[in-house]
Amino acid sequence: MKFQPLPLLICLLTISPIFAQKHTHQSARPLAFPDVPGFKTLKTDLHQHTVFSDGNVWPTIRVMEALRDNLDVISLTEHIEYQPHKEDIPHPDRNRSYEIALQEAKDHDLLVVHGSEITRQAPMGHSNAIFIQDANKLLNDEAEDSFAEAKRQNAFVFWNHPAWHPQSPTGNPILSDFQKERIQNGELHGIEVINMGDYAEESLALALEHNLAIMGNSDIHGLIDWDYAEKGHDRPVTLVFAKEKTKESLKEALFAGRTVAVFNSLLVGKKENLVPLLQACIQVEKAQYINKTSILEVTMKNVSSSDLIFENQMPFTFYSSSPVFTVPAGETKTINIKTLERKDGLTLTLKALGAYVAPKVQPIVEWEIKVAE
């Protein structure tokens, strides 16, 4: 039988719903962390790559992934010296990746910060300079000149994956004279304690010793879904506590070191930053005695996207539950506290087992609870 094409109108009516669907950015695992007193909590990933250096995606994909993950800020930090795709994608202007991402993000509530990665062999290693004006001027023969230029551009510079084994065979960061001089010159301001899935306690020790901002980033080269989400992980991020959601406030907060690095249920930061965050992550929804007993039923809600693990540090023990417990992300957990006598209020005192304010040091967090009648 000879094929008779359908009228054009019928074809359009048949397929138009497919093309009429509105494009939205959404994820089953959006990152969420509450604001803390006096500051907005900005979710940032400040170490990412695209095909404009050694990544495998176009810059627009990085913007779309960030929107799906509910990030507030990203930076595409292309290697300025290492350009493996330049034969296929020649780009003499090292600012091009940033410009494409900026255009993609212009209609969305996402800040894109201009950055580049200064890439050298050990002992210099790899460092990201963000809030730069011109990436091309960072391309110099001598690493010292690149850092000096970043300082002239008022950049915030942090040391990438210092424990990475190609740079340090022991897996521990090596603070060389080069890094010491950069710190002394005001040319190095932060350090990654979490890069991809690696948490380096030694990097945290360096951050505390030299007053460097504590950073955590994905260092993504492929797809976030493939490298993280499909493996059951969230991407690592740096939470930055800024006065408002602007590039100026973000920059001020980074230089002030108001950061916490996060990867899944691991949270790492200075005590003055991490404890207020943990306090804000847990909301006490109920505190009431069970019938005529002296057993206080306390229901807590975790308003963050990280599972939070705690251990009881009170003089009171728990009834019918372990002293170590988890409050899952976005969910509630009820604990029963044996106060021995009925009280009007209580200081809930817990050790945050998945959090670190120094190597092997976990913070004690307190919440003041008023008991309902």
State whether 221 and 289 are in the same domain. Answer: no
Q: 362 and 236: one domain? A: no
Residues of the chain with pLDDT under 70: 1-28
Asked whether residue 259 falls in the same domain as residue 309, the answer is: no
| Structural domain contains residue 88 | yes
d(CA 104, CA 34): 27
Q: Which of 216, 204, 250 is nearest to 41 (CA)?
A: 250
Q: What CATH number does residue 70 fall under?
A: 3.20.20.140
Say whether both 233 and 104 belong to one domain: yes
The first and second tokens of residue 208, run together, are 């505390």
Contacts of 55 (CB under 8 A, 6+ apart): 48, 49, 78, 220, 221, 222
> In this structure, are 203 and 350 located in the same domain?
no
Residue 210 located in a structural domain: yes
How many structural domains is the chain composed of?
2
Same domain membership, residue 229 and residue 96: yes
Phi, psi of 347 (to 5 degrees): -95, 105
Q: Compute the distance between CA of residue 194 and CA of residue 361 in angstroms, rounded to an integer.
A: 16
Closest CA to 189 of 256, 139, 111: 256
Structural domain ending residue among the three candidates 238, 264, 290: 264
CA dihedral 35, 114, 227, 229 (to 10 degrees): 30
Element (H, E) at 101: helix 96-105
Of 105, 95, 88, 92, nearest to 51 by C-alpha is 88
Q: Is 60 contained in some domain?
A: yes
The span from the CA of 236 to the CA of 197, in Å, is 8
Q: State residue 3 phi and psi, 5-degree precision.
A: -70, 130
200: nearest Cα among 159, 236, 227, 161: 161
Residue 249: DSSP 8-state: H
Is 6 within a domain? no
- pLDDT, residue 27, reads 64
Please check whether residues 50 and 196 belong to one and the same domain: yes
Bridge partners of 318? 337
- How confident is the model over 38-60, as pLDDT tens digits? 999 999 999 999 999 999 999 99
pLDDT for the residue 164: 87
Is 19 part of a structural domain of the chain? no
- Euclidean distance between CA atoms 350 and 329, whole angstroms: 17
- Which residue, of 264, 296, 325, is where some domain finishes? 264
**295-302 β-sheet, strand order:** 282-289, 295-302, 332-338
pLDDT of residue 18: 40
Residues 51 and 119 reside in one and the same domain: yes
Question: Is the separation of the CB atoms in 206 and 175 below 8 Å?
Answer: yes
| 158, 127 contact by CB (below 8 A) | yes
Looking at the structure, do residues 143 and 73 belong to the same domain, yes or no? Answer: yes
* Same domain, residue pair 187 and 324: no
Structural domain span for residue 321: 282-370
Same domain, 337 and 235: no
pTM of the model: 0.92
- Both tokens assigned to 273: 């930053």
Residues 148 and 288 in one domain: no
235, 264, 293 - which closes a domain: 264
Alpha carbon 339 to its chain's center? 38
Show Cβ contacts of residue 295 under 8 Å, excluding neighbours closer than 6 positions: 289, 319, 336, 337, 338, 339
- Which structure tokens are listed for 305? 């996207």
12 token code pair: 């359009």
Both tokens assigned to 28: 């089953």
State residue 169's pLDDT score: 85
Give the angle 44-50-53 at the CA atoms, nearest 5°: 120
Bridge-based pairing of strands 308-312 and 259-263 is unpaired
Q: Is residue 217 part of a domain?
A: yes
Within a domain: residue 15? no
Q: What is the CATH number of the domain that holds 348?
A: 2.60.40
Show Cβ contacts of residue 135 under 8 Å, excluding neighbours closer than 6 positions: 78, 80, 94, 95, 98, 114, 116
Q: Residue 348 domain-assigned?
A: yes
DSSP category for residue 205: H
Q: Residues 238, 217: contact at Cβ < 8 Å?
A: yes
